[in-house]
Structure 1
Amino acid sequence: MSAAVQWLRSLVFVGQIYVMMVVMGIVFLPWALVSRHGALAACHMWCRWVRWTARWMVGLRTEVRGTPPTDEVVIAAKHQSFLDIILIFGAVPAGKFIMKRELMWAPVIGQYALKIGCVPVDRGKRSQAIKQMVSDVARGRQDPGQLIIYPQGTRIAPGVKAPYKVGTGVLYDELGQDCVPVATNVGVFWPRKGILRKPGLAVVEFLPRIEAGMARMDFMAQLEQEVETASDRLMREAGFDPDKVQGDR
């Protein structure tokens, strides 16, 4: 298949998933407004739709490995593109995120994010944001679920190294919950920017949990080692050499 044809198929795929986000959001809205279960059901259905259409529209198969948690834990994941959000959220029963405060005002997305228990923070004020995250998450425990966070704070292209931020360690410390690391290779096929979606097998892998109670710095070191090692393995499995990227920089 030519690159031009794949790009056109990708364009149609990307367009329809956002159209379906609006359609499903409107259809489920009455239920979502009165029940968190309605909001979660809508979001899970949309995640399944994206995975199903990705397979036959652009040849992108997806796989979730490991054991997704069902109890109250912190999920600390490698973040390469929107696809890892979809796969991780779709695999757990009640996922929620720490999100930029401005997303609260986004049509459809903002209303659903608040209903499923997402925690809005002002990312422009780092120390205040960490304190607010701890306070808001603790107050939100009446809505049990899996708090999904991205220790590097943003999407990172495959093979690029970026530091793990201390906020993850603070949340692990203060909440006293186990942490489930997650590795991925999705950025090889679904980049953080652009339209092209490549065929292949995109994977997220839930790794063995890190139990609560470790010293903060020891926890951060173990988390980074496990997530980066497993993500590099998955990228090599997909035919991408992360070491070569570093060598070219």
Structure 2
Amino acid sequence: MSARSASATPGGLGPWQYLQNVLFYVHAALATLVIGLVGLPWVATRGRRAANAVATRWIGYMLWAARLHLGVTCEVRGMPPRGDCIVAAKHQCFLDILVIAHALPRRAFIMKREVMRVPVMGWYAWKVGCIPIDRSRGRDAVRAIAREIAARHESDDGLGQLIIYPQGTRTRPGEQRDYKHGVGTMRAASQLPVVPVAVNTGLFWPRKGWGIRPGRAVVEFLPAIGPDMPQQAFMPRLQAEIEARSDRLMAEAGFNPQDAARD
């Protein structure tokens, strides 16, 4: 695969790729509606465990549809955590959301509160334990979430694996963005391990979700950073580990940073 063909860009699709992109999104919308509605009565009576089971079925179906229509396959490397922890991941596109969530048994996300209002999907997000963030509140919102994480960890139900994107948004391959300190605040308040995750998914699935190209995307779970690490050293280490490993994964797939500069 050449660096240019690996870099997912909205333009330049052939007619067949264009059609397959359209078919995937139609298929995904219908499957979301059907799976979501069928699961509603079960989740309403059985709570988070049932919501996670339905979410797992839906995510698996989305990944299957991506293979069917788009020729996108996914590989998970490393050891996905099973206990309570914070998962800090590189975020390039919708695909890495699916792959990371599918690898975790009790996943939940910190997400924009607007997403929680989406019909069907938003309701399931609440049920699996996703935490909305009001970005307009700045540090007050981060501190409130940190307290909630600590409380959930101490509860009988536990926290599960809480996924956060330290850069705060999707990034293009080769794009550099500083990591926000919210994950450090949440780690300090909860004393939970943080599991870094590297990805190369943006090479095949662009940020805006159009112009998807076939290929093998990789998501890699790195060794956890324990709560004993000094707080001032945590953020530099987290960023260095995620960025270095993501760069290596993208290089394996033939990515050349000079192509990103030209796009």
Please indicate the TM-score interval, normalised by the length of the shorter structure: over 0.9
Residues 55-204 of structure 1 correspond to what in structure 2 (within 5 A)?
Answer: 55-141=67-153, 142=155, 143-144=157-158, 145-204=160-219
Identify which range, 132-141 or 174-183, moves more after superposition: 132-141
Deviation at 1:105, TM superposition (A): 2.3
Listed as ranges, the gaps of 5+ residues in structure 2 are 1-12
- CA distance in structure 1 between the partners assigned to 2:102 and 2:237 by the alignment: 26
Identify which range, 177-186 or 47-56, moves more after superposition: 47-56
Q: Which residue type is aligned with residue 9 of structure 1? A: Q
Q: Deviations over 1:56-110 (max 9, x none)?
A: 2111111111100001011000000011110001001001111222333221112
1:214 counterpart = 2:254: no
- CA distance in structure 2 between the partners assigned to 1:169 and 1:158 by the alignment: 24
* Contact kept in structure 1, 2:143 and 2:186, CA below 8 Å: no
Say which SS state the counterpart of residue 68 (structure 1) adopts: coil
- CA distance in structure 1 between the partners assigned to 2:260 and 2:178 by the alignment: 17
Deviation at 1:46, TM superposition (A): 1.1
Q: Deviations over 1:150-189 (max 9, x none)?
A: 0000111111000000101111111101111000000110
Deviation at 1:244, TM superposition (A): 4.9
Distance 1:243 1:183, change over 3 A: farther
Deviation at 1:194, TM superposition (A): 4.1
* Contact kept in structure 1, 2:27 and 2:65, CA below 8 Å: no
Identify which range, 100-109 or 197-206, moves more after superposition: 100-109
- CA distance in structure 1 between the partners assigned to 2:209 and 2:34 by the alignment: 24
Say which SS state the counterpart of residue 197 (structure 1) adopts: coil
Q: Which residue type is aligned with residue 145 of structure 2? A: M
Name the TM-score, length of structure 1 as normaliser: 0.94
> Would you say how many aligned residue pairs link Structure 1 and Structure 2?
247
Name the TM-score, length of structure 2 as normaliser: 0.90
- CA distance in structure 2 between the partners assigned to 1:80 and 1:165 by the alignment: 16
Q: Deviations over 1:25-60 (max 9, x none)?
A: 101111111221111011111111111121121111
- CA distance in structure 2 between the partners assigned to 1:156 and 1:80 by the alignment: 5
- CA distance in structure 2 between the partners assigned to 1:36 and 1:114 by the alignment: 9
- CA distance in structure 1 between the partners assigned to 2:67 and 2:78 by the alignment: 21
- CA distance in structure 2 between the partners assigned to 1:203 and 1:112 by the alignment: 26
* Root mean square deviation, CA, Å: 1.5
Identity across the alignment (%): 45
Q: Which has the higher contact order (CA 8 A, sep 6+)?
A: 2
Say which SS state the counterpart of residue 39 (structure 2) adopts: helix
Q: Select which of 16, 23, 27 maps to 1:12.
A: 23
Listed as ranges, the gaps of 5+ residues in structure 1 are none
Q: Which residue type is aligned with residue 101 of structure 1? A: R
Say which SS state the counterpart of residue 124 (structure 1) adopts: helix
Q: Which residue type is aligned with residue 11 of structure 1? A: V
Say which SS state the counterpart of residue 136 (structure 2) adopts: coil
Q: Which residue type is aligned with residue 58 of structure 1? A: L
Say which SS state the counterpart of residue 19 (structure 1) adopts: helix
